[in-house]
A and B are shown apart, each in its own frame.
Chain A
Amino acid sequence: MAETASGHARTSGEAAEARAYGLTTDDLSDWAAFSPIEIYWALKHGLTSRTACRWAREGLRICDTVRAIALGMSPEEVRPWADAGFAPSDSVEASEMGIPLEAALAWREAGFILPDTALLIHEGWTLQEAVKARYEGIAHEHWYRSAGHAT
């Protein structure tokens, strides 16, 4: 290691992490907004700090940025999801699983967070089936009517 990373770390523990990943003072300086494990993952995947910062401005952490770039996404594609109240990483999840924003909104309205929605759709569930299944056996008649569905 050319120079220990301790100088730019926020805590002694973070300095220890940086050293364990072989990060230098320059690395920590160049990647000041990121934690050692993120810097390690970024360098491993060939990300520049400039690119990472651009995605970070949209709210994405490094591991989601790596996925987003692999999917061919642009940072601008994150914004509509964030504006709709989703976690920025949800835009990557949705892109990966082919879920349009309108569908994600409908599932969210029914009470499913996006990663759960993605898994359920991937497994072949329709929204109607998922809503029915989640309340199976718990005051079925009551909830189903109150949720606005015909029984």
Chain B
Amino acid sequence: MGELLRRYWHPVAGAAEFGRMTVKPVRVLGEDLTLYRDKSGNYGLVDRHCPHRRADMTYGFVEEVGLRCNYHGWLFDHTGRCLHQPYEETRHPAGKFKDKVRIKAYQVQEKAGLVWVYMGPRPAPQIPDWDRYYSRGYKQIAISEIPCNWLQCQENSIDPVHFEWLHDNWSRVLRGEDGPRAPAHQRLGFDEFDYGFVYRRIREDTTEDDELWTTGRVCLWPNCLYVGHFEWRVPIDDEHTLSVAWFIDELPGDTPFDQDVIPCWHAPITDERTGRWIDSHIMNQDFIAWVGQGVIADRSKEHLGESDRGVILLRKRLLEDIAAVAAGRDPKGVIRDAGSNHSLHLPLMGGLNHPAVKDGPRPFPFLAGQPVEVIKEFEHAWRNCTPAPEELATRG
């Protein structure tokens, strides 16, 4: 599976984090690495340990170009080349020792306020350029570390029925409501497209004319959910997953809105007071289900039924993709053509440019722990974008 996942770019941090710091330890696909941004603005992803004496590169410091180890000052650039070995070059100015040393390095790029890494064979494919990145609205990124395997997280992305129970009915119970249960699912459908699968549903309160059926929602290949916002499930290692979520809230009015920096915050998953998982927000509820399945869910003890057709579809396709990679082919959803990688369309109920909610900014429903600064920044953007009453009157 690791070989398959190394054919894709993965988001591992928010670009905004590199306004506060320059070096960050990361663990991705089972490798301990050092993510940095040097003074020229180049991102680099190199080994956690210096190839000289194995010192921790996350305590190194950035230079105009590259990252310098704090132990003996060896300097490496983002390609892994050693640029400087201070004492070696003093003693042997004509020596070429630095040319014989490299540090492990992977490619890094920034897109949509996220820092993406590619850890597979070259040439690297394109980072998908989704149309949603260009929608007008207030954007934010939230990151959490989930102590379980990524695949059980992603299986949730093609499991429509869980929404009825984990989010609707359980939330009603948590709120102490005695009223009727959520509308039950009646029918499910799945459609393949270039970048994943669309899952569709008909509930007791909807028909075939509802967008839940005609458009549906997207299980984005290979490790993301797209429902207007994105939720990537990036493997840290076999037993931990980085949940990286990219959100957008439409703003009122139609004046241009530019967001210089997309804020990135870390969402807690446990309640400090009780030590229990946080259950108040939608994604937190998902986290509870995932970690509840065990660190690595034991599929041999499952009893799959009709509600799991999507999960089985996903597993089958992943196995096919593993075989494709073993045979030297590209797996599903890999984009090679830079010319076509512009504002790629993903199905979205309501379309890309649906209006802002009418009754002002609402509390963030997806993750607990949204920082006050982000709330205030969103409210400020909302106020600034709200047309003045006289302007609305003029428009009729």
- Seen from chain A, the residues whose Cβ lies within 8 Å of a Cβ on chain B are 10-17, 20-21, 35-38, 40-41, 61-63, 111-113, 115-116, 118-119, 122, 133-134, 136-137
Contact = CB atoms under 8 A, between A and B. Distances in A.
Interface in B271-321: 300-306, 308-309, 312-313, 315-316, 319
B211 A113 contact: no
B209 A113 contact: no
Contacts of B319: 119, 122
A16 B131 CA distance: 13
Interface of B: 131, 189-193, 198, 209, 211, 213-216, 300-306, 308-309, 312-313, 315-316, 319, 345, 347-354
B193 A40 contact: yes
Nearest to B305: A113
Contacts of B308: 113, 116
Given A12-B350, A35-B214, 10 more contacts: A35-B191, A36-B214, A37-B216, A63-B192, A111-B303, A112-B304, A116-B304, A116-B308, A116-B312, A118-B316
The B contact surface, by secondary structure, is: mixed
Contacts of A136: 300-301
B191 A41 contact: yes
Nearest to B344: A20
A37 B193 contact: yes
Nearest to B302: A134
A98 to B, nearest CB: 14
Contact of B350 (A13, A21, A62): A13
A61 B197 CA distance: 13
Contacts of B215: 13-14, 17, 35-37
Contacts of B302: 134
Contact of A20 (B309, B345, B349): B345
For the complex of A and B, 9 pairs with smallest distance between CB atoms: A16-B351, A115-B312, A20-B345, A63-B192, A13-B211, A116-B304, A13-B350, A35-B214, A14-B214
